[in-house]
Structure formats: structure tokens, C-alpha cells
Structure 1
Amino acid sequence: MAILKHLSSKSSDYGKALEYLMFQHNERTQKPLLDAKGNRMLRDEYYLNGLNCDPFSFDKECEQLNARFHKNQKYNEVKSHHYILSFDPKDKENAGLTGKKAQALGLEFASRFFPGHQALVCTHMDGHNGSGNIHVHIVINSVRKLDVEPQDFMERACDSRAGYKHHQTRSYLTAMQTGIMEISKREGLHQVDLLNPAPIKITEREYWKNRREQEKLDELNARIVADGMKPRTTTYQTQKQFLRNAISDIASYARSSEEFQSRLKEKYKITVKLSRGRYSYLHPDREKYITGRKLGSNFEKDYLFALFAENAKADRRKPEITSVFSIEKIADIAERRTSSVLPEYNPSYDYPSDPVAILFIRSDLRLVVDLQTNIKAQQSAAYAQKVKLSNLKEMAKTVCYIQEHGYDTRGNLADALDGITGKLANARKTLRQTENRIKELNEQIHYVGQYQSLKALHAQFVKSRNKKQFREAHRPDLELYDAGMKYIKNHFDGKVPSLKSLKAERDQLLQMKDAQYGTYHYFQDYQKELRTVSSNVDAILGKDRSQKQDRQKEQDIS
């Protein structure tokens, strides 16, 4: 695929552009590479031509033209523009693209879109980072040398006259992108639609940052491996890439915007904001939101809403699970999972396959708005009408919900809410017990490990002839040994436990914690939904009654 990249330069040294095109440079520092004798090295293969100038006197001719028209004399003026046409590496084999052919296409492109400008057109065969893709550099002086016929992409009359500067606009860029696509189609080259936003947008700045940090991480991991340890992570990712990965994960199964936002917050601590029809995301380590547009079109509202609709449609095609299990069955399963007694560890046990994790599917129900207490609705009749329509939709959804779930009376709904609230309390209690035990085990592992690692040093201390001098030389380590020994005497009656068994128990509890954490959030979401349903039912009935009154009257809501 041919893509277009644009750079502008305020440097008055036009000779640097020619040097870069002809000689080998370091990709990161952009400094020329030198041979053993300190001389610059020519590129292995390149093709160079000049438009409206001699390529080897490009710098002098540009300076003379600038002086003639009294342009580009200030420091902050853009002196030159650098465009890069990059072709797909597959084009060499599949489409027979060669350096000479690419150079001809580059000259055609430059003549069409930069008429009257002094330009260098150079084709390189060595792609960035060894990718091997053929690419064409086009460097133009920002001041036009010759008068030319006005073109459709030129918005101002002076854009075709000599002595005036290159003026890039949105329509100009669109015309260039369209031109690239036409050339690629004509020559049978690989090409993507450049006129639509990229599904995944990675800027040059992000690319280079990721590459620098990855190299630093690789160097650090090499030292860690050399010391006989295992690196914690081997791949670096920017904050934007973290957002892309997290959003893609949640969006793959989310069925609504509400579920999408809650799951991102719960699993990745990412806050989502939908404002003016656009999604923005807050990384947990940032204070400023990143818009979906900066991440790519796959992370914007239109694409994600379409994906949510597909996910919801796929879920509706699945067999109903809630009809198989009653509320009592759910409670029984949940009670076993939230039991304070930890089951025997079984490596083959698959926690996500537990039925309770798939029985409840969170809907997109929202609370019915009380117009009597909504100040904005009282101030604006249009907003009040909008809220009324929204309330009608939520009431209809609520009626469908209670019919589908078989809640015949308000009391049955209240009982279900009470039952889920009790299960949530048990899940929270069990989770806290597990977390406290893990914290206790970590403390035990710390002191036992501290004791065992310094046991040999203490033995040397016992055997030393001058104990006072030995203690002074190793006071911090001996104090740590004494602290570990004291802890073992107080908590294990002086018997040193097996460090391996402590770690095994901790690993078992960590797996148990993950399952219990999922159970806790399951009941938390369930409770929130039943509260929403209960509140909407009260709004439909036009009453604000307690659950005790509901049970006494047994009002039919079916």
C-alpha cells in the first residue's frame, strides 16, 4: 500500500536534505554513518533527480531564489517541505515494482502536485528498520520558482504564481491522497483507502517512543537474565497501546455502552467519557483524557456502537440459560462459592465455567427520571419532553424485564433483591477473609524467607571468635535474622515452616481470590440491576413504598 507522509522544516541549510538522500544515516539520531576512515558512506542503491533545478546544486539554487523574492529570510519560516511516498514491500514481488519504476512514479507525482517548485526526487530501496519497502522522498523549496496553470486543488490565485509559498490545505492533501490511490490502482500496486481514518492510528512520535523504550527494556532484561532471574515483562507498550488493547478486549463481548464503560473501569481502571457523540478514555496513570480519534477509528463511537449491536444480536441467538435455573438454584450455587471454607485446590478446576458466572447478563436498563425533582426539566419544556419519552422507553423495558424473569408481584421482586443483597454481603465477607489470609501469608513468607536467607550468616556469627566485631560488621543483616527468628517463635512456636508450602497455599488462595472477586462483582451488578427495576416499578405504580408494605399488599405487577 502506498502511503503519504509530510514533514516541514525551518532549517535554512538545504544541503542537509541532499546529504540525507545520498548518504547512509542512523535511523534514530539522523546523523550520517562513517566508515573506518571517518568518511560518509553512500547508500547502497538510490535514484536521484531534480525538478526545475540541478539536484547537486539544489541548496544554492534555493538560496538564490529565496533572495530574489525576499522570502524565507526569517528564522521561524518554513523553508522546505518533505513528502515521502512509501510502497508495500509485497509490491516488489507481486507487482514487479523496482527502484526505477518507483522513481518514475515519484517524478510523475511531484510534477503533478508541486508544479513550478524546485524539487529533489529520490528513491530508496532500504525500508525503515530493515522492512525492505521501496519509498520515494520528495523535497521541495517552499517558494515556487515558476508560474504555472491554476489547478483544482489550489484555493488561492497566488498559489500558481512564482514567488509565493507552498500552501497545504485539507483539500490539497485530499487531492494528493487521491492521486496516490489512482497511481497505485493503475499500476496494480497494493493500496488502502487513504481518505478514511485509519482503524489503528499510530503517530510517528508514538512509534519512536515505543521503539526507544523497548530497546531500554531489552537491555534491562538482558542484565536480569544474566543474573539468573526471569524478567517480569518483555514487551513495552505505550499508554495509547494499553488503551487500544483494553478497549478491544472489552468491546469484543460488551453488549451496550453502559456495560462497555463499567467493564473497562472494573478490569482496567479506565474511565470512559461520552461527550458530544465522541468517546474519550482516561488512562489510570493520566489526568487528561485521550480521544478515540487519536487511537483510531476502531475506538470511536460509531464503530463501537455497531460492535455492541452485533454482540447483543449474537447473545439473543444463544439459548436462554435463566429458564433452566431458578432463583433458589442460583442462591444455592452462590452460597457454595461464597462459603468461608476454602475447597481443596484442584488445578483442573475452571472457575469461569461455573454456572453462576453466566446466569446473569446485565441489561441496559436505566432509572426512570422523576420530573418533579428534576430542575432542568422544570426549566426547559423541550428537555422535559425528551425525558418523558426516555421514561416511557425505560418503563417498557422494565415491564418486559419483570415478565421475562417471572416476577409476579412486587413482593417477589423485593424478595429477590433481598436474597441477592444477602449473597453479596456473604461474597464480600468471604473475599475479605481470603484477602486477609493472603496478607498474613505474605508476612509469613517475608519473615521465614528473611530467616532462611540469613541463617548461614548467623551460623558464622556463632562460630566467630570475636562476636562483637562480627556483629558490628554485619549488624543490619543480623538484626533482620533476629526479627525473623522472633516472628517464627511467636507465630509458629519456634518451628520453622516450609517456605514452599507457604507459597503453595498463597498461590491457591490467589486463584480462589480471583474466583471470589468475580462472584462479588456478579452479585454487585445483579443487585444494582434489581434496584433499578424496583425503583422503576415504583415509578410505574406512582408510589414510593417500602418492601414491608409491598409484601403485605402483594400488588400484582404482571
Structure 2
Amino acid sequence: MAIVKHIKSRNANYSDAINYLLFEHDEKTGKKIVDESGRSILRKEFYMDGMNCDPMSFDKECELTNMHFHKNQKRSDIKSHHYIISYDPADVTENGLTGERAQAISMELAKQMFPGYQVLVVTHTDGHNESGNIHTHIVINSVRKSAVDRQPYMDKPHEERAGYKHRSTDKFMKTFKKAVMDRCLQEGLHQIDLLAPAEKKITQEEYMAQKSGQEKLGKVNQEIIADGLKPISTIFQTQKDYLRNAIDECAATSGSFEEFQTKLFEEFQISVVEHRGRYSYLHPDRQKKITECALGTRYGKEHLEQTFLHKDPIAILYVRSHLRLVVDLQTNVKAMQSPAYARRVKLTNLQQMANTIIYVQKHGIDTQTDLKKLLLNSQKALAECQNQLAQLAAERKTLNSQIHYTGQYFANKDVYSQFLKSRNKGRFRKEHATEIQAYEEARDWLKSFYPDGKMTGMKTLKSQKEKLQHQIDSEKELVKTMREKLKTLETADYNVDKILQMQIPETEKAKTNNYER
């Protein structure tokens, strides 16, 4: 699906935008990559066009427009707006999306949404960190160069006049997203509803904070491992991510808001209150609450109350455990440095040991051998489930090819029939080379796929894909549930090992003798 991002810039140097879009940059540092001679390296594949300007002189033309209208003279002024349309990676393999086609689609959207502005449109095919997703950058000067007809999304007087500054209002963004959705559906590309509130809302700021935090944590952990010690954590969590994970875990086992509220506080030290029909959460390291709107609809009152009342049938099969790994104080750097932290860890360890014993007793695990067998069986079951999911995904890929080539075949069949009847076939082929080539490609593929010549109809293919997608979605949910179960078993196994390694007083040995058999 295509998604839309918006970034405001107060940078008065428009050349920076051109440099970033044309030349390779290090994704981590943001610095330009140069060759051995110190020269900038062009991106491997890109498509560039300008609107109301020459793309190569976009920077100078924007500066002239600003001077003409006496705008963007202050440091605090927003000089440009940067919109990014990211297309679904699956569109490349399933729907034939290319960089050239994405550029054409984005140019049409730019003409529709930014009339009168100087616009630079550049499409990249490498994706973020070479992920492969095709995406288009639309950079506009914030000052309108020429007057245009008034548009439905304009809500300020004289907004259509030359010299007026662009405003990325909610009304404008809704119109832009609607235009992107309509165009993607028209082009047969994957698309989701961009106007519906996000189930899990992650802003650009949070994404960058998580990325930066993970890099810093990785460097610290490398130093810890080099010293022969064990890192406390390998995954960096933003405060919002901490809240989301805690809410998901507590909501899955709560039958009411009161129970949910109690579990959040007792297990994660998170306070939650309801105010004016909405939930607000207080992270243990913050003084200001974070509202449900900042986390996503999945963490709001409306969704969670439905979760309390109607449990997911798959979730009933496996209730998440609250087990945490017992921390090894002998190798924990932070515990060595802080006696207060070490005391807190000891108390937490005692609680997790008790939870582990309750867990194994509750699940009828009498010996450590039984626990190991259960863990091994769970690993095998997950592997089988993952293999099944991979097979279904392969079937979907084949089905997508059938749909793609069947549609391509019938879309160009009439042109090919005209070609066969034409008197000057060479001239006709030259004039309709794209359609004829597409027909012949689809015909040859379908011949190899259907040796008997009996093609499956498009309606049947789409029905098969819908059923297959339901199977895949169900299998994904099952894999997710089995992974959670396996993680809990691994935690229990680790904790039991730690418990049995410790020196236990004689009075306590009787409680754990069963696990030593």
C-alpha cells in the first residue's frame, strides 16, 4: 500500500534537497557518500522532473520567487515542504510497478495537489536502507509562484493567489491521501485506507528516536560483550513502545478496565486513567501522561473495551504469561555499579522465581525433563507452522502471477487481433509495440502454465486468492501465538535452570525436589 509522509523544512539552502535526492547518502549519518577522489556518487536509479521550474535549477528559481514576493526572509519561516509517497514493495513483483511508472503517477498527483508551486519530483527505487520499496519525494517551495483556480481544500481567503504560502492543514492532508488512494486503486496497486486512524501510530520522531537508540544500545552492548559480560537488553524501546507492549500484554488477560488498570500498575508500574471518554497512560519515567491518540486506536478506550468483552478465540488457546528472565547479578554491569539497582533486581528475581514455579505447577510440569520435552515439541510445532505459512505464501505468489498475466492477456487481446488483421504488420507493431509485447509475454506465460490450454477465469482466480489470503492471515495469527508460547517456555526453562543452580535453604529444597528428578 502507498503511504504518505510530510516533513517541514526551515533550511534556506534549497540545494541541500537536490543533493540528497540525486546523490547517495549514508542512512545512519545523513552525510553524502563520496568515492576515492572525493566526488559525490549518483544514486543507482532515479527519475526526476520539475513542475513550474527546471529541476536542475530548482534551488535558484525558488530563491528568486521568495525575493519577488518578499517571503521566507526569516530564519523561523518554513522554506519548503517535503512529501514522501512510499509504495508497497509487493507492487513491484505482483503488479509490475517500476520507478518510471511510479514517477508518472506521482507527477500526476503533484499537478493535482500543488498547482502554481515550484515542485521537484524524484522517484527512488532502492528504498530506505536498500529495502527495495519504490518511493517518490515531492519537494515544493512554500511560496506559490503563480495564481490558480481555488481548490476544495483551500479554507483561507486568497489562498489561491500568487505569493501565498502553502499550509499542510488536516483538510489538505485528507484530500492528498484520498487522491493517493484513488490513484493507487485506479492503477491496480495495493492500498489501505489512509484516512482511517492508525491502529499503531508511530510518528517520524518516534521512528528516528528508536533507530538512534538502537544504534547507541548496540555500541554499548558491544563494549559489554568485549569485556566478557552479558548486556541487560539488546532491543531499545521508546517510552511509547514500552506502553504499547505492556498494554497488549495486560489487555489480553483482562476482563474489565479495573483488572486492566491493576495489572498495568502492578506488573509495569504504568498508571492509566479515563478522562472524557479517553485513556491516558503515565510511563514510570515520565511526569506527563501520554494519551491514547499518541499510541494508536488499538490502545484506546473503544478498542480495549471490546477486547475485554470479546476475547480473540486464538488468544483463548494460549494466555500470555508474565514471566520475565531471572537476571544474573554476577554478569550484570548495572547491578555491579549500583547497589540500589542490585537490591531491586534481587526482589524482582524472587518474584520471577515464584512466578516460574507457579507456571510449571499450573501446566502440570512435574520434572525438568518434562519441561525440556515440552520446549522441544513447541519448537517443532512452530517450525511446522512456519513451513505451512511459507507454502501458502508461495501459492499466493503463483496465484498473483496467474491474475497478473491473465489480466495482461485480455487487456491487450483486441490490439493483437487488430495486428493479425493489419495489412502492414511491421508498421502496426511499431505503433503498438508495448501492447503487442505485453500480449505475447502474457500468452507465452499462460501457455507454459496451462499445458492443456484451459485457463482459469479471472473471477475464479480472485475468489481463490481471497480464500487463500484468509488462510494466510489465520496461519500468521497461529504462528504469532505459538511464538509467544515458545518464548514463555524458553523463559521458564532458563529460570528453572537458574533456580536449580542456586544454593537453596534446606526448608525450601522440598519445594523444588520434583524438578531435580
3-state SS of the aligned residue for 1:48? strand
* Structure 1 residues 17 and 136, CA gap change in structure 2 (3 angstroms): same
The answer to whether structure 1 residue 260 and structure 2 residue 270 are counterparts is no
Q: Is the Cα contact below 8 Å between 2:87 and 2:135 reproduced in 1? A: yes
The total of aligned residue pairs comes to 341
Q: What is the aligned partner in structure 2 of residue 121 from structure 1? A: 121
Q: How far apart are the structure 1 equivalents of 2:52 and 2:135?
A: 22
After superposition, residues 517-528 of structure 1 pair within 5 angstroms as: none
Q: What is the aligned partner in structure 1 of residue 202 from structure 2? A: 202
Q: What is the aligned partner in structure 1 of residue 504 from structure 2? A: 505
1:352 to 362, 385, 397: 362
* Structure 1 residues 269 and 142, CA gap change in structure 2 (3 angstroms): same
After superposition, residues 114-263 of structure 1 pair within 5 angstroms as: 114-263=114-263
Q: How far apart are the structure 2 equivalents of 1:230 and 1:282?
A: 30
* Structure 1 residues 64 and 85, CA gap change in structure 2 (3 angstroms): same
Q: Is the Cα contact below 8 Å between 2:252 and 2:315 reproduced in 1? A: no
* Structure 1 residues 510 and 215, CA gap change in structure 2 (3 angstroms): farther
Following TM superposition, by how much is the alpha carbon of 1:155 offset from its aligned partner in structure 2, in angstroms?
1.6
Q: What is the aligned partner in structure 2 of residue 95 from structure 1? A: 95
Q: Deviations over 1:92-126 (max 9, x none)?
A: 10111100000001101100000011100000111
Q: How far apart are the structure 1 equivalents of 2:113 and 2:69?
A: 22
Q: What is the aligned partner in structure 2 of residue 286 from structure 1? A: 286
Q: Is the Cα contact below 8 Å between 2:85 and 2:136 reproduced in 1? A: yes
Q: Deviations over 1:206-254 (max 9, x none)?
A: 2122222222222233333334343332212111111111100111121
Q: What is the aligned partner in structure 2 of residue 493 from structure 1? A: none
Q: What is the aligned partner in structure 2 of residue 299 from structure 1? A: 299
What TM-score do you get using the length of structure 1 for normalisation? 0.57
Q: What is the aligned partner in structure 2 of residue 271 from structure 1? A: 271
* Structure 1 residues 255 and 164, CA gap change in structure 2 (3 angstroms): same
Q: Is the Cα contact below 8 Å between 1:210 and 1:236 reproduced in 2? A: yes
3-state SS of the aligned residue for 1:158? coil
3-state SS of the aligned residue for 1:104? helix
3-state SS of the aligned residue for 1:273? strand
Q: How far apart are the structure 2 equivalents of 1:507 and 1:59?
A: 79
Unmatched tracts of structure 1, length 5 or more: 317-345, 355-498, 514-558
Following TM superposition, by how much is the alpha carbon of 1:351 offset from its aligned partner in structure 2, in angstroms?
3.2
3-state SS of the aligned residue for 1:136? strand
Following TM superposition, by how much is the alpha carbon of 1:510 offset from its aligned partner in structure 2, in angstroms?
12
Q: What is the aligned partner in structure 1 of residue 463 from structure 2? A: none
Q: What is the aligned partner in structure 1 of residue 319 from structure 2? A: none
Q: How far apart are the structure 2 equivalents of 1:308 and 1:94?
A: 39
* Structure 1 residues 21 and 259, CA gap change in structure 2 (3 angstroms): same
Q: Which runs of structure 1 show a deviation greater than 6 angstroms over 4 or more consecutive aligned residues? A: 312-316, 346-349, 499-502, 506-513
Following TM superposition, by how much is the alpha carbon of 1:196 offset from its aligned partner in structure 2, in angstroms?
1.2
Q: What is the aligned partner in structure 1 of residue 3 from structure 2? A: 3
Q: What is the aligned partner in structure 2 of residue 70 from structure 1? A: 70
Q: How far apart are the structure 1 equivalents of 2:507 and 2:266?
A: 23
Q: How far apart are the structure 2 equivalents of 1:132 and 1:314?
A: 34
Q: Deviations over 1:312-361 (max 9, x none)?
A: 99999xxxxxxxxxxxxxxxxxxxxxxxxxxxxx989823348xxxxxxx
Q: What is the aligned partner in structure 2 of residue 105 from structure 1? A: 105
3-state SS of the aligned residue for 1:73? coil
3-state SS of the aligned residue for 1:255? coil
Paired AA for residue 505 in structure 1: I
Unmatched tracts of structure 2, length 5 or more: 317-355, 365-497, 513-517
- Rg: which structure is higher? 1
* Structure 1 residues 348 and 257, CA gap change in structure 2 (3 angstroms): closer
Q: Is the Cα contact below 8 Å between 2:200 and 2:296 reproduced in 1? A: yes
Q: Is the Cα contact below 8 Å between 1:255 and 1:312 reproduced in 2? A: no
Q: How far apart are the structure 1 equivalents of 2:19 and 2:203?
A: 26
Following TM superposition, by how much is the alpha carbon of 1:172 offset from its aligned partner in structure 2, in angstroms?
1.0
The answer to whether structure 1 residue 57 and structure 2 residue 38 are counterparts is no
Q: What is the aligned partner in structure 2 of residue 496 from structure 1? A: none
Q: Deviations over 1:29-59 (max 9, x none)?
A: 3221111111111111110100011011111
Paired AA for residue 257 in structure 2: S
RMSD after superposition: 3.0
Q: Deviations over 1:447-501 (max 9, x none)?
A: xxxxxxxxxxxxxxxxxxxxxxxxxxxxxxxxxxxxxxxxxxxxxxxxxxxx998
